[in-house]
Structure 1
Amino acid sequence: MVGYQEFVSLCQSPDSEDRGRAAHLSAIAYLNHHGPADEQAALYAALIGFLDDPSVKVRAALAYGLLHSSDAPRPIILALLHDSAVIARAVLQYSPVLIDADLFGLVQSAEPGLLLAISERDRISPRLAAALVSCGDRPITLRLLRRTEIDLPAPLLSNLAATHGDEAQFRGALLARDDLPADARLLLVQKISAALRNCRVVKGSLATERLNRLLRNSEDTAVSSIGEREAVAGPSNYVSALVETSRINARVLLHAMVTGHVMFFAACLAELSDVPHAKVLAILERGSRPALHALLSRCGLGQGVGNLLARLVLHARATDLVDDAAARHYVVTALTEELIAEHAGVIPAELEEAFAYLSEQNIPLARQAARGVMAAFAEEASLDRALPAPVVEPIALPAA
C-alpha cells in the first residue's frame, strides 16, 4: 500500500525509476478504482501529468499499466499512440481501446514497424486487413494470410492468388485458407502444376510423358474435388465459370464420376443442360436409361460419349466410387472391356479421348486396389495354406 504523500514524493523524484513506478501505480489504481468521484478525478489528472514527463521510461510505464484494458482513458491512449516508436508499437498491438477509425489514418503513412504492430492485433476487421494488404508490404501481407481467423474479402484473396500465386509461400498460405474462392484455388493448383513441370528435380526424376500424365490427372482431380466442395456448400458460380472457359469436357465428366464427385458431376450436367439441379440429381439416382440419354444429349454430348457416361452412372449406382478403390478399378475395367468388345477393338474418334482416359486410370487404380490385399489375405488364411514351392531344375553346363 502506497500512501498519497509517498505517491507525491515518487512523482516529484528526480529518479526516472521512481517516477515510472508512480506512473504505473497510478494507472493500476485508476483502472481498479471504485471510490469517490473526486479521487477518481485526481487519479485521472495524475495520468495526464505523466504524459508530459521527459523520460520515455516513465511514459512507457504508464502505457504498460493501461495497455491491455478496455477501460483505459481514450485521450491518454491516443496521446501514447503518438509517443515514441516503442510506445506507439505497443499501444497499436495491444490496446483494445483503439478502433478501426483510429487505425485507418495510420495505415497509409505508418512505417513498417507500426504496420507490423497493427497486423498482430488480436482482432482485425476485414476492412482493416484489406487496408493493410493494400500497403504492398510483402511480409505483412503474408502474415495476415496465415492468420486464418481473419476474414479477408473474396476479391482480395482472388487478386492475391493472381498477383502472388507464383511464390510458394503465398500459395501455401492461400491454399490453407478455407475462405479462398474456388476459382482462386483452381488457379493456384494450375500454378503449382506449372512449377512442378519446370522443376529440374521433378523433370529429372520422371519421363516427360509420365510427368504430363500425372499432372494432368492431378489437375482433373483438383477441378472435380473443388467443384464437389462448392456444390455441397451451396449455390456457386464455379461450374458456370468452367463452362464459360470451356473447361468441362468428356474427360472431366468421367473423372468426376470415377472419383465419386457426384455432386460436381450433377452440377455440370445442370449447367450444360439448363435443367434444375434437383431434377438432374433425381435422374442420376433413379432415372431410366432413356432419361439418362435424354439428359446427356441435352448437354450437347455426342451419342458415343453420352452412352459411355450413362453406363458409368448405372455402374455407380451399385458401387461405392467415393472410398472403394477396388470398385473404381472394377468399373473402369468393365467400361474399357465393353468399349473394346462393342467396337471390335476399333475405338471411334469420338471416344478416343475417353478411352485414353480410362486406360490411363486403369493402372493407378489397380495399384490402389491391390495395396494391402495380400497382407489382409495372409491374416485371414489358415496356417496350412501356403504358396507352392518353386520347382528348381538343374542347369547343365555346356561342354568345355
Structure 2
Amino acid sequence: MVAYQEFVSLSQSLDSEERGSAAHLSAIAYLNHVGPADEQAALYAALIGFLDDPSVKVRAALAYGLLHSSEAPRPIMLALLHDSAVIARAILQYSPVLIDADLIGLIRTLDLPMLVAVAQRTTMSPRLAAAIMARGHDAVTLRLLRRRDIALGDALLSELATKRVDHAEMRGALLARADLPAAARLVLVHKVGEVLRGARIVKGAVAEERLNRILRDCGDTALSAIGEREALREDGGYISELVASDRVNTRILLHAVVTGHVMFFAACLAELAQTPREKVFGLLEHGSRAALNALLVRCGLGEGVRNLLARLVLHARASDLADDAAARHYVVTALTEELIAEHDGVIPEELEEAFAYLSEQNILLARKAARGVMTAFAGEAGGAMALPGVEPRLALPAA
C-alpha cells in the first residue's frame, strides 16, 4: 500500500508521470474499495480532481484504470469521453458504462476513427449498429456486417441489400450472414448472376447461349434452395411473395423436385391451392392420382401440367432425389419418355417449355450420374478392369 502522504506527494508532483501513477492508483482503489462511505467519497473526489489535470498523460492514466469496469463512475467516464481523441477513442471502444443513449447522439458527428472505435465495442445493439451504418462509411458497415454477434434485423439487412446491391464486397458480406432475409438473398443472387453475365472473363470462356442456360439454371436453383430453407423454418413469407409476384411457374415447380427441394415444392403447392401444408405433405406422400389431380386443380394449373406434375410426384416417391443424381436422372428420363410416347412425339404447346427444361436437365443429370458411376467403378474394380496406376513422382530436395 502507498501511504497517504506518499500519495499526496505523487498527486502534487510537477512530474506528469508521477501524477499519472497517482491517478491510476486512485482509480484502482476506487473500484476495489470496501469500507466506509466517506472513504469512497474521498476517492471519488480525487478522481474528479484528476479530470482537471493539464497533462493528457495523467487523464489517460485515469481512463486506463477505469476503462473496462462497469462500476466506473458515469460522470467521470462521460467527461473522459469528451477529452482528447486518444482517450475518447478508448472510452468509446471499451467502456461498458456507456449506453446507447450516450452514443447515438454522438454518432452523427464522429469522425471515421471514432466510428471504427464504436464499431469495435464488445456488445452492440441493433439500434446502435443501424445508427453507425446510416453514416454511410463502407469500411465501418462491412466491419459490422462481418460480426455474427450483432443481430441487425430483417429491415436493416433488406435495406442494405437493396441500396448496396452494386457493391461487390457488401454483397459478399450480406450473403455470408445466415440471418439475411430470404427475399434479400434472392435479390443479391440475381445481381451476382448479372455481374457474371457481364464479366469479360466469363463471356470469353462460355458461349452466350450456354451461359444464359447455366445462369438461368443457377438462378432457379438458388430460388428453390432458399425456398427449401424457408419451408423448413415454416416461414411462409418468402413463398407467399414469390406466388404473389407470379414467380412460381411450371419450370420452378419442376426444378424444385428435380433438385430435391421437395419441401419448397410442397410449400408452393400449399400456397397456390390455399391449403394447409400438412394436408399437402400427406397428399404428396400417400395421395392417390385422383387426389393429386384435385390438389393441382386447386393450384390453377392446366390439364397437361397437372398430369406432368402428378407423374413426377409418383416417380419421386420411390427415389432419393435430394442426394442421388442417378435417381434424378432416372426420374427425368422416365418422365420424358412417357411424354414422348403419350403424344406420339408431338408435344403439346402447353408442355413445350416444360419438355425443353426436362431435356436440358436430362443432359446435366446424365453427366453427373456418369461421373458418380465411373468414380465408384474405379474405386472397386480390380485386376484387368482396374484403371492404370500413376507412378509416384520423384520428390526433389528443396533448393
TM-score, normalised by the number of residues in structure 1: 0.94
Q: Unaligned regions of 5+ residues in structure 1, if any?
A: 388-400
2:71 aligned residue: 71
CA 1:186/1:375 → structure 2, altered by over 3 Å: closer, same or farther? closer
Letter in 2 for 1:247: R
- Alpha-carbon distance in structure 1 between the residues aligned to 2:371 and 2:5: 83
1:191 aligned residue: 191
1:1-400 to 2 correspondence within 5 Å?
1-383=1-383, 385=385
- Alpha-carbon distance in structure 1 between the residues aligned to 2:30 and 2:353: 77
CA 1:55/1:386 → structure 2, altered by over 3 Å: closer, same or farther? closer
- State the Cα distance separating 1:300 from its structure 2 match: 1.3
- Alpha-carbon distance in structure 2 between the residues aligned to 1:183 and 1:105: 32
Letter in 2 for 1:126: P
RMSD: 1.4
CA 1:299/1:48 → structure 2, altered by over 3 Å: closer, same or farther? same
Deviations 1:282-337 (A, max 9, x none): 11010000111111122111111111111110111101000111111111111111
Letter in 1 for 2:284: L
Deviations 1:213-256 (A, max 9, x none): 11000000011011111111123211111112111100000000
SS of aligned partner of 2:345: coil
SS of aligned partner of 1:241: helix
Letter in 1 for 2:383: L
Identical amino acids, percent of aligned pairs: 72
- Alpha-carbon distance in structure 1 between the residues aligned to 2:2 and 2:346: 99
- Alpha-carbon distance in structure 2 between the residues aligned to 1:23 and 1:336: 84
- Alpha-carbon distance in structure 1 between the residues aligned to 2:126 and 2:343: 59
CA contact (8 A) 1:130 1:152 kept: yes
- Alpha-carbon distance in structure 2 between the residues aligned to 1:374 and 1:12: 85
SS of aligned partner of 1:318: coil
- Alpha-carbon distance in structure 2 between the residues aligned to 1:360 and 1:153: 40
CA contact (8 A) 1:130 1:153 kept: no
- Alpha-carbon distance in structure 2 between the residues aligned to 1:243 and 1:300: 12
CA contact (8 A) 1:221 1:255 kept: yes
- Alpha-carbon distance in structure 2 between the residues aligned to 1:378 and 1:121: 55
Letter in 1 for 2:329: H
TM-score, normalised by the number of residues in structure 2: 0.94
Deviations 1:131-177 (A, max 9, x none): 11222222221211111210112111111111101111010111111
CA contact (8 A) 2:68 2:95 kept: yes
CA 1:230/1:375 → structure 2, altered by over 3 Å: closer, same or farther? closer
Deviations 1:181-218 (A, max 9, x none): 11100000110000000001100010001100110000
- State the Cα distance separating 1:385 from its structure 2 match: 4.8
Q: Unaligned regions of 5+ residues in structure 2, if any?
A: 388-399
- Alpha-carbon distance in structure 2 between the residues aligned to 1:332 and 1:15: 86
- State the Cα distance separating 1:386 from its structure 2 match: 6.5
- Alpha-carbon distance in structure 2 between the residues aligned to 1:3 and 1:305: 92
- Alpha-carbon distance in structure 2 between the residues aligned to 1:167 and 1:108: 23
- Alpha-carbon distance in structure 2 between the residues aligned to 1:269 and 1:319: 20
- Alpha-carbon distance in structure 2 between the residues aligned to 1:385 and 1:92: 70
- Alpha-carbon distance in structure 2 between the residues aligned to 1:336 and 1:52: 85
2:390 aligned residue: none
SS of aligned partner of 1:122: coil
- State the Cα distance separating 1:38 from its structure 2 match: 2.5
Letter in 2 for 1:208: E
Letter in 2 for 1:253: L
SS of aligned partner of 2:70: coil
- Structure 1, 341-350 or 378-387: larger mean CA deviation: 378-387
CA contact (8 A) 2:378 2:386 kept: no
SS of aligned partner of 1:326: helix
SS of aligned partner of 1:371: helix
- State the Cα distance separating 1:375 from its structure 2 match: 3.6
- Alpha-carbon distance in structure 2 between the residues aligned to 1:57 and 1:33: 24
- State the Cα distance separating 1:36 from its structure 2 match: 2.9
- Structure 1, 64-73 or 342-351: larger mean CA deviation: 342-351
- Alpha-carbon distance in structure 1 between the residues aligned to 2:329 and 2:166: 36
CA 1:196/1:34 → structure 2, altered by over 3 Å: closer, same or farther? same
Letter in 1 for 2:334: A
